[in-house]
Amino acid sequence: MAPDYRTRKYYKSNYSFLWIDRKGIDGRADSLIDCLQNITRIGFSKNKFRLPRIESDLQRLRNLDFDGSDNSINKVLARLEYNLTKAYFRYVSGQRFGFMNPKYVLNHVDVHEQKENTVTYRTLYDIKTERAGDRFYRTAMSMIREDSIADFIRKAEPNDEVYDSLERLLQSPGLSRMQRNRILVNMERCRWRMQDNPQRHEKYVLVNIPSFHLRAVDGDKVLTMRIAFGSNKNKTPLIVSAIKRMDVNPQWVMPKSIVRKSVVPQLGNINYFTQNRYFIRNRQTGEHVDVSSVSPEMLESGDYFVIQRGGEGNAMGRIVFRFDNNLSIYLHDTSSRTIFDRSVRNVSHGCIRVEKPFELSKFVLAKKDDKLVDRINYSMHADVSPVNMKKEEMTERMMLVADTLDRSRLIGSVNIKPMVPIFILYYTMYPDASGKIETFSDVYGYDSLIYQQLRNYI
């Protein structure tokens, strides 16, 4: 583990002692021991922090109880110096940043591509998260020298309402091993110092993947809805961002994987493209390409987009909620509304489908604007199939529809100001709107991955 590496590196470099001086060891060691006495409260083992050995050696030193074997004065002092630093580094870095690195562990789960000597993995954790670096460990050592250990440890410990609730729950009598492990892994999630968290905001959108629900919070007002998200093969990544725009009746640019699997086999079937309202566009020039002239090689080259026109039947539904991220993930409506009747809804290619898109559109607006809401509502229900089509491409029915459209009420995009924070997270235990802890299934199997890392301390 990283704190152990730091400990070894420090002493192999022959740097000065941190705990021992000419007078022996003073109360700084006792300050650390006092903090570590409560390590079992957070589910960890005193042995994993060398506490019994530290206490034994400290007692031996104070009683001058040495012998000529493994308990010579030199060996006792050496053990104390090393074990105190190791226990201290383990505790303060773990409580401050987490006892595992989520970015490393979760981004080495699903293989994306495997070649002769290289393996690339899918990005499943895309949240800026602080980690303990040189500066932190230098500060930690300076706290020993300044005799400010207790205060430094106190500031390193999580200051999080969810963490506190889980820690109290861990003290409950009669917990099964499975229940304890689940609490421990969710306490660990609370330690990760992400770039932002919901508790800092009055208004935000929270997608907790294992809950299969979205929660939109604005002070005391809470809007909840069902969601569908990425399948186990195409897991929805964890993201922290802010909703910046809504696009009404968006076009759907197909991912290359879907083009290869679903579209390429249909080349030559003009009806397939017509019925699904697909068209092909040259990536460089932006020009539409005659479907009958397209070959499989052209589509697989990546030089051409397959796009579905916006409107009824579009895979993204009638509205999409955009936010900056590195993985082209967003919230959107869906044309397959029956998906929300299922209890298990991990079915998408990674994006998140929302049950109540119109209600969510009203939520993200900064203030009530009846005219804007009316335009969004009208645009989400109007037949917009003739929009952005050339006259010669329209059928007779489309021409009739075009004549009845109230284009003054149509709206394409709405910028969200101020932007609304969005958190796509993964907790298998999390408080509901009233603060009561709920438990959810570990749909992606992340709990076991985290627990394997925490076993180093349990």
Annotated active-site positions, please? 332, 351
Q: Are 409 and 377 in contact (CB under 8 A)?
A: no
- Return the structure tokens found at 364: 């993200």
Containing 404, the helix (H) or strand (E) segment is helix 396-404
SS (H, E, C) 155-215: HHCCCCHHHHHHHHHHCCCCCCHHHHHHHHHHHHHHHCCECCCHHHCCEEEEEEHHHCEEE
CA-CA-CA-CA torsion sign (347, 348, 349, 351): negative
Q: Give CA torsion, residues 51, 455, 191, 47, to 10 deg.
A: 0
Six token digits for residue 336 = 């397959």
Angle value at C-alpha 189, between 183 and 193, nearest 5 degrees: 150
Whether the Cβ atoms of residue 352 and residue 205 lie closer than 8 Å to each other: no
Inter-residue contact 314 to 249 (CB < 8 Å): yes
Contact between 361 and 375 under an 8 Å Cβ cutoff? The reply is no
Contacts 24+ apart (CB under 8 A), 168-171: 169/429, 169/437, 170/41, 170/42, 170/43, 171/41
Name the strand (E) or helix (H) holding 119. Answer: strand 119-121
Strands 413-425, 239-248: pairing is antiparallel
Whole-angstrom Cα distance, residue 165 to residue 431?
Answer: 9
